[in-house]
Amino acid sequence: MVVGDGGVRLSARILEGPRGASGLLLLHGLASSQHIWDQLLPQLARRFRVVTYDARGHGVSAKPNRGYGFDHMVADALAVAEATDLGRPVVCGHSWGAMVTLELAVRHPRAIGGAVAIDGAVRALREEMPWHRAKEILAPPHLAGMAAEEFRAGLHPLLGDSLEITPQVEQQVLSVMRVRRDGTISPRLARSNHFRILRAIWEQQPHALWARMQVPALAIVANATAGRADPLTSGAVVQVRKLTRGKPVRVEWMRGIHDLPLQHPGALANRIERFAETAVR
């Protein structure tokens, strides 16, 4: 455990890597856990000192009933980096973690060596729908009380066409749930805290942040179709590229579903490695 902003206790893992290795700090998405990165860690730890952690409210970290805005999330990430002696790490975030990464890079550019945003922090949710609609569409499913075996079985029709549901993938996904003694599950992220984070996501203006980006950055955007991406994502990518012209920023497409760390861990690790090795420290 490490101590985050305001004394909140955060569950963290450190993979030491080679002697003198540069640091990588990996941030997971909303209602996920640090185990989303498990399949990338063996490869990344061969070259880097890698740290992952469960964000507040998630996994086995503390679950306060406040502090879920980007101010606190950025402060937590900085506290983890300092507590684990990462120096100026390259910070990689997936989904909501990409949004935290973007905020961190813009607010504290001297604290990090670079930023990788994986399928997040490109589209502005507030420009696409009002808050009441976002709260309705993106509300977490009611899973408390479901049998753990039923939850596992549901992964195959949900994700089976996109990736192989191995026992490791099952465990990675199940890490977001608490398995009770009676064999039923309950989400580790409280519903109320989920909505607190969702509100912060809705309020974020990613394009305004990209326009202020000064550190080396890589945005990796998932494209699940064989042809063009959906118009909203394509338009957002065009806008980010326009706003960051002349800056040390690249935006790349990657064929796959939103959960790229589960679907293409090796290919994603390769992209992170290539970027991190060239980022300015």
Identify the pLDDT of residue 179: 95
pLDDT band at 236 (very low <50, low <70, confident <90, very high): very high
Query: Would you state the pLDDT for residue 278?
Result: 87
197-227: per-residue pLDDT in tens? Answer: 999 999 999 999 999 999 999 999 998 765 5
> At residue 281, does pLDDT exceed 70?
no
Given this model, what pLDDT does residue 230 score? 83
Strands, DSSP E only, in 43-107? Answer: 49-53, 90-94
Whether the pLDDT of residue 186 is over 70: the answer is yes
Predicted pLDDT at 227: 53
Q: Is the confidence at residue 77, as pLDDT, over 60?
A: yes
pLDDT tens digits, one per residue of 17-37: 998 899 999 999 999 999 999
For 103, the 3-state DSSP assignment is helix
Measured over the CA atoms of residue 80, residue 82, residue 84 and residue 89, the dihedral's sign is positive
Output the pLDDT for position 98: 98
Backbone dihedral region of 130: left (phi > 0), alpha (psi from -120 to 50 degrees) or beta? beta
Give the whole-angstrom CA distance, residue 191 versus residue 207: 28
Residues 62-69: what's their mean pLDDT? 96
* Confidence (pLDDT) at 162: 81
Write the CA distances from 128 to 146, 220, 232, 233, integer angstroms: 33, 21, 9, 11
Residues of the chain above pLDDT 90, percent: 89
Domains of the chain: 2-127+204-278 (3.40.50.1820)
Q: Give the model's pLDDT for residue 225.
A: 66
Rounded Cα–Cα distance for residues 189 and 58 (Å): 5
pLDDT at 280: 53
* Mean pLDDT over the full length of the chain: 94
Question: Do residues 269 and 118 make contact, with C-beta atoms less than 8 angstroms apart?
Answer: no
Q: What's the Rg (C-alpha) of the chain?
A: 18
Nearest-angstrom CA–CA distance, 17 and 13: 12
| pLDDT at residue 229 is higher than 90 | no
pLDDT of residue 256: 92
pLDDT value, residue 198: 98
pLDDT for the residue 161 = 75
pLDDT at 194 over 80: yes
pLDDT (average), residues 74-101: 97
Which pLDDT value is given to residue 159?
76
**Tell me, what's the pLDDT at 106?**
98
Digit-coded pLDDT (tens) for 117-173 = 999 999 999 999 999 999 999 999 999 999 999 999 888 877 767 888 899 999 999
Number of Cβ within 10 Å of residue 11's Cβ equals 17
Q: Does position 113 have pLDDT exceeding 90, yes or no?
A: yes
